[in-house]
Structure 1
Amino acid sequence: MYAIVDIETTGGKYNEEGITEIAIYKFDGHEIVDQFISLVNPEREIQPFVVNLTGINNKMLRDAPKFYEIAKRVVEITEDCIIVAHNASFDYRILQTEFKRLGFEYKRKSLCTVELSQKLLPEMESYKLGKLVRALGIPMSDRHRASGDALATVKLFQLLLDRDSEKNIIQQAVKSEIKKKVATRLLDMLETLPSETGVYYIHNAKGDIIYIGKSRNIKKRVNQHFTGTNNKSKKIQKQVAAVTFERTGSELVALLKESEEIKRKKPMYNRAQRGNIFQFAMTSYVDDYGYIGFRICKADARKKYITTFTNMSQAKHVMFKLTEEFQLCQKINELHSTKNNCFQYTINECHGACIQKEAPESYNERAQQAIDKYSYTNKNMLIIDRGRHHDERSAILIENGEYKGFGFYSLNYQITNKSVLKTIITPMQNNRDVQHIIQSFLRRKNRLKIITL
């Protein structure tokens, strides 16, 4: 029996959060047999960014039950159940924290659908709940509300149960105790870290940097290093003497800065990221009938490509998406091997380039639009993203298709005045890795503002 859980909290300092909403669906592996959904008065202020995210505010919770009033129901509905959650370490920790405040020790076995999805669905581009269920065609309503997220997790978990036909992976993933004790000295370091986007540096007693990472929540990510049980985490826990950080606000800037810093400083526990981070690439060709086609090939750092990919499954996913978005032909893009027309033509989703029914000129116009979207070769542009605080923005400069660096600005004239722009941009190295980072980020994040220079 499983208890699928989702919890919304006030946000705030680690282990000082309070529950604002909880949803629990008791699931027997086939159907929901019981459920409990409730707002909760956390008896503390909700962080403003959480109010914006969930829509839950202090006024809504004024007459809601306090946790001690629903604790018995939570115990009963999860009795003899395995707790299942998307990022179970968070939801289970919050439950344990609330029960600990009541003087009650709460212990259950647990399963994380993030970890399960990574093992059973390795081809997915993102394992965030919203993006994952959307990619899998799972309907979702009330995003960032406990009931909506928990119900989507039920459907995701059902799919994972079906995928793991032998149930070996799920059995191995069940954890008897997910909470890890963090040494006092490590807790002291965690207290100094922000729950914000940026790059962090883990130092040893000599002050040498032994690991560099990036995260959208620096404190949460470093805590994972401090509670991890793999060999690298254990070595970091033993050697860490200090953690420093730089806020970036922008996840893309954090990725670019992390890549640059790892290549420059070569920390001992970043070995896997010192080399190229892409293995496959998309290139174009012109077939015998004059149609522009795309194909996936092994990446060669000496050559130029439209875009690059970390693995083959990601490459194929983008190729299918590109082909559908620009109404191109699966046969020409080498996604459908046939001597006649492609399957898409039979269902009226291809204009017939596969059998020379569509003129190459009109087809190639759309193919060129695809190239323009997925490549920034020869382009001059600024990618505008979040800054380190609310009235600041970040800018990533591309000149003639080359990454020049990034900077932060708060006034619009700084970004439109070329002489000022040059002074706020910190120069960075252009290489295939940063091009891969920028291209893959642009593929995933359609809301980024682009200024053409």
Structure 2
Amino acid sequence: MYTIVDIETTGGKYNEEGITEIAIYKYDGHEVVDQFISLINPEREIQPFVVNLTGINSKMLRNAPKFYEVAKRIVEITEDTILVAHNAKFDYRILRTEFKRLGFDFTRKTLCTLELSKELIPEQESYSLGKLTRALGIPVADRHRAAGDAFATVKLFKILLEKDVKKNIIQESIKHEPKTQVESRLLSIIESLPAITGVYYIHEADGEIIYIGKSKNIRKRINQHFTGTTRKAKKIQLQVAAVTYEACGSELVALLKESEAIKQNKPIYNRALRKTVFTHALYSFTDENGYINLKIDKVDGRKKPITTFSNRQSAKSFMFNKVEEYQLCQKLTGLYDSKSHCFNYTVKTCEGACVQEEAPEEYNKRVQQLIDKNSFSNENIVIVDRGREVDERSAILIQNGVFKGIGFFNLNYQINNLDVLESIITPMENNKDTQHIIKSYLRRNKNIKVLNIK
């Protein structure tokens, strides 16, 4: 659990500033579950430059509560949480100073979104909250007011959690969370989880991730883990201290995130280097007569496939459909072994490429259309799918035929060029698994929106 904080002060000498406004959003990693926002009478003068910057003046604060009047609420809302702020050293120092004046030792673990941004979103022009939120398309209301800046920091922190593919932030958080009683632990965990599409992470007490999975219904899937009787399920039940999750909205996003997370974190109860999820591939070659031939074969890491399949049967089913869709020759697609013509030629649904009646140039145009549609080689495209919320969509970026990563964008936010896309995308590894996941998902879901970008 986190509390995202922003504080406005009077300005002045070091450790002599007073708080003029505070905003705290309690955030569970997915949504705000509590909040506290208040002006505060600092009982001292506000520096003129601060008045100009924030618009907060002494007259506005005359009837505002003094710090000691809100101190209990601040302690309660931040208890057992990690304090998050943009330039956390400043906000934490100010809070500790105010509590010290009351004779109270205010101690919380902190996270700084400024430092995290430098690590997780490198090469930005500036890491000030204003410029960073603009670069990432985060709307900010009431800039330099506590509520506006704190809520913008919530949005920024959500993006940082997304970009933290090694899950260091979450694992550290689990380590510091209070643990429930053993006997009620599993039921309590299940009840806290949503029935949504996403990736889940099972942690032991020190925050270490011991298992990663994906599901269209996270709560149901975790319940299966906790009621399972296999050797692995029983080990997980004994060791689990917490389950965290990432909402994905899209099954494609969940599949890609699961694959990446397993490779990055190597949990002990996932197969350490998960076996390749596909066994067969579609390859092409040009024969001595100039015709492009297609061939289903076992995956060969030395050759670049057009697309890949989980098994031979799904590959053959795909090819039979494409032969009909593109009017291709059964013989030249490896579906009909013959020294002469194919079967379809006898029923006049093959144009005769198998016996060289159709010119290679004409036949190859149709084969190339199939190849282009299923390989996205050298293409710049964005696959747009469901988002985590109603007004959001996910974006899977393919640049020059290479999978680059995943991001989320608001429907009001334009994603029509690479510069904009690259700012919201969490970079991910392009490998055979990700290529297979994307291509097979697009084959199964023909209505998914695919945009060409420049």
TM-score scaled by length of structure 1: 0.57
Rounded to whole Å, the distance in 2 between the matches of 1:228 and 1:296 is: 38
Match of 2:262 in 1: 262
Aligned 8 A contact 1:197 1:249 in 2? yes
Query: Paired residue for 1:323?
Result: 323
| Partner in structure 2 of residue 278 of structure 1 | 278
Alignment deviations for residues 255-285 of structure 1 (CA, whole Å, 9 cap, x no partner): 1111110000001111076242222211101
Deviation by residue 1:367-389 (Cα, 9 ceiling, x = unmatched):
01100111111111000000001
Note the alpha carbon deviations across 1:387-445, whole angstroms, 9 max, x for none.
00110000011100101111000145431244322211111111111111111111111
Does the aligned pair in 2 maintain the 1:403–1:435 contact within 8 Å?
Answer: yes
Structure 1 residue 338 displacement after superposition = 1.3
Would you say the 8 A contact 1:380–1:401 is kept in 2?
yes
Most deviating of 226-235 and 335-344: 226-235
The C-alpha deviation readout for 1:67-123, integer Å capped at 9, x for no partner, is xxxxxxxxxxxxxxxxxxxxxxxxxxxxxxxxxxxxxxxxxxxxxxxxxxxxxxxxx
Distance 1:342 1:297 in 2: 20
- 1:266-323 deviation per Cα after TM superposition (whole angstroms, max 9, x unaligned): 0111107624222221110112221111102222334321011222222222222222
Q: CA deviation at 1:217?
A: 1.1
CA–CA distance in structure 1, aligned partners of residues 231 and 273 of structure 2: 17
Displacement of 1:246 in angstroms is 0.5
Q: TM-score, normalised by structure 2?
A: 0.57
Amino acid in structure 1 at the alignment position of 2:319: M
CA distance in 2, matches of 1:240, 1:251: 25
Aligned counterpart, 1:365: 365
Contact 2:266 2:272 in 1 (8 A): no
SS at 2:415 equivalent: helix
Q: Equivalents in 2 of 1:405, 1:265: separation in Å? A: 18
Q: What secondary structure is seen at the aligned counterpart in 1 of 2:236? A: helix
Kindly state the Cα deviation for residue 208 of structure 1 after the two structures are TM-superposed: 1.3
Deviates most, 243-252 or 313-322: 313-322
Q: Distance in 2 between matches of 1:221 and 1:363?
A: 48
Offset, 1:238: 2.3
Q: Aligned letter for 2:440?
A: S
Q: Percent identity?
A: 61
Report the residue type matching 2:375 in the other structure. Answer: S
Aligned-CA RMSD value: 1.6
1:443 aligns with 2:417: no
CA contact (8 A) 2:392 2:408 kept: yes
Question: Which of these two proteins has the greater Rg computed from alpha carbons?
Answer: 2
Q: Distance in 2 between matches of 1:438 and 1:354?
A: 32
Rounded Cα–Cα distance in structure 2 between residues aligned with 1:415 and 1:243: 33
User: 4+ residue runs of structure 1 moved beyond 6 angstroms?
Assistant: none
Matches within 5 A, 1:205-244: 205-244=205-244
Provide the C-alpha distance between the structure 2 equivalents of 1:433 and 1:301, rounded to a whole number of angstroms: 12
Map of 1:28-427 to 2, 5 A cutoff?
A: 184-271=184-271, 274-427=274-427
The SS at the match of 2:363 is: helix
- 1:285 counterpart SS class: strand
Unpaired runs of 5+ residues, structure 2, are 1-182
CA distance in 1, matches of 2:370, 2:337: 22
Closer/same/farther in 2, CA of residues 212 and 194 from structure 1, 3 Å limit = same
Q: Distance in 2 between matches of 1:409 and 1:219?
A: 26
**Matched-pair contact (CA < 8 Å) for 1:414–1:421:** no
Higher deviation after alignment, 299-308 or 262-271: 299-308
CA contact (8 A) 2:266 2:273 kept: no
TM-superposed deviation, 1:234? 2.3
Instruction: Name the count of aligned residue pairs.
Output: 271
Matches of 2:317 and 2:237, distance apart in 1: 38
Unaligned runs of 5+ residues in structure 1 are 1-182
Q: Which amino acid aligns with 1:404?
A: K
SS at match of 1:377: coil
